[in-house]
Structure 1
Amino acid sequence: MDESILNHLFLPHHLPDSADEDFLIKGKHENEYKLLECLNEYFNSVTSAHVPFTPPVFRIFHDTIKRWAVLQNPQNLSVQDIQTTLEKLSTGTLLPLYFHAQNAAILIEIDETNQPIVSAWEVLLPNSTITSSITRHYSCFPVTTYRLCDRGQLNSKVHCEILADFMSNTIEYSKAQKASREVDEIRDVPESHYVCQWWIQHFQELTDNHATEICLPFKKKHRDQIRSHRELAPFRRSGLWMTIKVVVQTI
């Protein structure tokens, strides 16, 4: 596991060709959540060391990681867990979620008026974008955020079922032409628009929160880490790790 974590954090020269050779992302990325567990263990060790001064942002991030790690584990995920977590979110707390099956992430924050602020973004770029150009590619943040007037929509069982389904089932892959017919390109990342567009737009009485948000703009670079085009599941850097970096800088 340690070697796999180092692969995703630092992208050394000798990376595996196939995702199935990597502990974190083999299968259906069933071990990817362990990145969050490692972060949580680190924060626990710092806390137990009785550091004289802990910045408030450190406590916010630690609390966010603990909450996130529980729901990101696909082996324990349930609609009830999602609903309970959303109901317990208090003023100033955050809940990120990464959906490998949709190539997307969301961030939910409860503001000082107890109203949810939500955002969503595409995590990884398509293989063709990453490998077909020497140009550096960046994703720009912060993305547009939206305010929900009715928190009940967020906590509803129907909405929690949607999030659970996003976590487990890919809705759409990009298409490829093979033998004169169109097929799913399962070697590429899934389409993200069901989260980035539909999920946002399905809420009622949604307002743009751009005028009130205060966050310095920043960029995240997408590095070319795809080592093979012949593998059924080529190695790609963890989308969860990319999401963690974005959330850390957003907080």
Structure 2
Amino acid sequence: MSVTKTAFTYMVNHVFLPPKLPDGDDWEASHSKALQSNIMACIEKFATYVTFGNRALMQSAASMIRRMIQAQNEHGYIHCDKLEQVLDEIGEKVSGEAVCINVVSQNAGFLISRHQDSVYVESFELSPINSAVMKSPGRLRRYFPGPAMAIELGTFRDREFQKSFAEVLHKLCHQSCPDTCPLVKKAGQLHEETRDTVDPVYVTEFMTAFLGPVAEHVDDITQGIWKNTRDEIMWHKSFMPWRRSPVWLLLRVSLQLLLGHKAASTPQARCLYKSLMLFFTASLLMDGLLHQDLSSDMIEIMRSKIARRKHKLLAAFQREVEEQVISFADKAMTHAARELINRQRPFVANESPDNNLRRLESVNFVSDTVHRLKKLDDFVNSISDRTMSLDRASFCPPAYMSTFSKGSLPDLSGWSTLDTHGYTAFRLAEVEAWVSDHLDNWLSHAMMSEKACSELSHLITTYERIAISIYRTNPEGRSIMVLVLIELWVACDKIATGQIPLLEQYDPCIPAGLFESFLLPFREQMARLNRVEEYLERRRRAADQSLPCIFSSFGDPRSFAVRFYSRSGGNGAVVKRHGCYLSN
């Protein structure tokens, strides 16, 4: 299909990834739609090159991209009403139909596909973060998809569900969400780095929770894929960097997943997908030769990459590859080679100028090539006369990590959330390990200590202040933080009730369902949480439920403060002395 020169350059840059790339973001909605339309047309043409049994697969793949284009507005974002129509079409079609969706603002993709009596909803991240791309020595190995859910067909066909689902995706596509951008320190403060990619947590986790009541996980059914992806981050005198098109990754992953779901076997799906990519790249080369003014360098780059694709395809699937596809790729490469030869002929035809070699007759090679460097000789001879002088340097690097004593509480004084050395997370892990391993032993020796509760209170306050900033966007970390805090509180409660038995009559007022949403990765942590819940349940059963909450009803005759005062004669004398002092 015919496209503008800028749109074709956009497709070549993102599909072939040549050595020379733009210095900044080159995304335009029209270019992205041109890429989608071009690969859809290529798939329809590719269907005529494969066997009859595989044509239905190619028709489903082309329909998937057609629905993707249909569900977008002119800016490349989700159109709510059109997406609702596409979802209704998926629900009414036969098994195997699908649509891929680009949730632009969340850096995430969706593949919604029909499977027998259910509909699969698979989500995954599109562009990786900048640091992962820059640190990778070669290709970045990634697994697709992320969470996969299966929705019963009757539920999916419900118009209210389709409307609600489309509205949520529409909102996520158009609006950025808080706490998803990486943070960088500028002028001593943390700022969101808008030039990095966002975390797709609101799609991969929030949408999974949103669909949870009406869907079930199908991680053991969905055939995932590993992809060795290549990407670049190019940024020079521009606000936003250039990175490889997330739409191109969405198309490739969706096509490979769809073929994997529908093909008779995994090797057949891989062969079809790689044959399609070879056919598509060869089609781009043919279009460039016929309709675009490609440079010789670009023609050779495209030809070389197509040749490499063909070689890898034949090496892996010698017998399964369609001969027509290989012939088409050979034809494109032959046209490219012929074009390069035609461009080279005018330069070869020009006669080389005569070289005047008479000056070489008078050259004295011995005198012109042998030259003594006296100072260099003196320097080389002086090397053997040098004396070795090795001064031992003292290197004492500062210790940023600390080991806490088993018999005393961790000392967090001097800690700060703005740790310039990056050890805060490891220090928090040390505190959490101490609580897990040594808190019970410390508690057995501190039951009668008058300072133990105040020391625990200081530790709880300091640890919570530091940990909440580090674990802000980490659900597992926040769960571990709350577990550590509640264990420290339990230790404090044991000391307090041991010294003041009256406290045992009052409910601690901690809700029983507080810990139901915890995300604890290890069995040992779950066992610790179980001990905490059992302790709170014992405290709740031992408490007198007729008494008011210990944190309220101040002044009530049955409140803890009044009863404790009544039982403490010494405190009464102190209050009387203060009353006499104030009256005077």
- Structure with the higher fraction of residues in helix conformation: 2
- Quick one: distance in 1 between partners of 2:160 and 2:24? 38
Does 1:10 pair with 2:16?
yes
Q: Which residue does the alignment assign to 2:489?
A: none
Is the 2:122–2:145 contact (alpha carbons within 8 Å) kept by the matching residues of 1? no
- Quick one: distance in 2 between partners of 1:5 and 1:135? 22
Matches within 5 A, 1:29-44: 31-44=31-44
Matches within 5 A, 1:35-184: 35-45=35-45, 53=52, 55-75=55-75, 77-89=78-90, 90-92=93-95, 93-113=97-117, 115-134=118-137, 136-149=139-152, 150-151=155-156, 152=158, 155-171=161-177, 172-184=180-192
Deviation sequence 1:22-57 (CA, Å, 0-9, x none): 2xx14xx5642321111223244556x798835221
Q: Which residue does the alignment assign to 1:241?
A: 248
Greater displacement, 149-158 / 127-136: 149-158
Q: 1:158 deviation in Å?
A: 2.6
Q: Percent identity at matched positions?
A: 22
Q: For 1:32, what is the secondary structure of its paired residue?
A: helix
Choose from 230, 233, 242 the match for 1:223: 230
Q: For 2:234, what is the secondary structure of its paired residue?
A: coil
- Quick one: distance in 2 between partners of 1:46 and 1:222? 24
Q: For 1:202, what is the secondary structure of its paired residue?
A: helix
Is the 2:120–2:150 contact (alpha carbons within 8 Å) kept by the matching residues of 1? yes
Amino acid at match of 2:8: D
Amino acid at match of 2:99: L
Is the 1:101–1:169 contact (alpha carbons within 8 Å) kept by the matching residues of 2? yes
Is the 2:72–2:82 contact (alpha carbons within 8 Å) kept by the matching residues of 1? no
Q: For 2:242, what is the secondary structure of its paired residue?
A: coil
Q: 1:241 deviation in Å?
A: 0.4
Q: Which residue does the alignment assign to 1:193?
A: 201
Quick one: structure 1 residues 136 and 200, their matched pair in 2 at CA, closer, same or farther if it must change by over 3 Å? same
Q: 1:68 deviation in Å?
A: 1.2
Greater displacement, 120-129 / 49-58: 49-58
Q: 1:234 deviation in Å?
A: 0.4
Quick one: higher RCO (CA 8 Å, sep 6+), 1 or 2? 1
Quick one: structure 1 residues 155 and 91, their matched pair in 2 at CA, closer, same or farther if it must change by over 3 Å? farther
- Structure with the higher fraction of residues in strand conformation: 1
- Quick one: distance in 1 between partners of 2:257 and 2:160? 21
> Where does the alignment leave 5 or more consecutive residues of structure 2 unmatched?
1-6, 259-584
- Quick one: distance in 2 between partners of 1:14 and 1:85? 39
Q: For 2:113, what is the secondary structure of its paired residue?
A: strand
Amino acid at match of 2:87: L
Quick one: structure 1 residues 226 and 98, their matched pair in 2 at CA, closer, same or farther if it must change by over 3 Å? same
- Quick one: distance in 1 between partners of 2:23 and 2:192? 21
- Quick one: distance in 1 between partners of 2:120 and 2:193? 34
- Quick one: distance in 1 between partners of 2:31 and 2:256? 24
Is the 2:150–2:215 contact (alpha carbons within 8 Å) kept by the matching residues of 1? yes
Is the 1:153–1:159 contact (alpha carbons within 8 Å) kept by the matching residues of 2? no
Aligned residues: 241
Deviation sequence 1:146-195 (CA, Å, 0-9, x none): 11232238843232111112222222322222112222211111221001
Quick one: structure 1 residues 132 and 45, their matched pair in 2 at CA, closer, same or farther if it must change by over 3 Å? closer
Amino acid at match of 2:141: Y
Shift >6 Å, 4+ stretches: 49-52
- Quick one: distance in 1 between partners of 2:207 and 2:146? 15
Is the 1:18–1:235 contact (alpha carbons within 8 Å) kept by the matching residues of 2? yes
Q: 1:211 deviation in Å?
A: 3.6
Q: 1:226 deviation in Å?
A: 1.1
Structure (1 or 2) with the larger CA radius of gyration? 2
Query: Over aligned residues, Cα RMSD in angstroms?
Result: 2.5
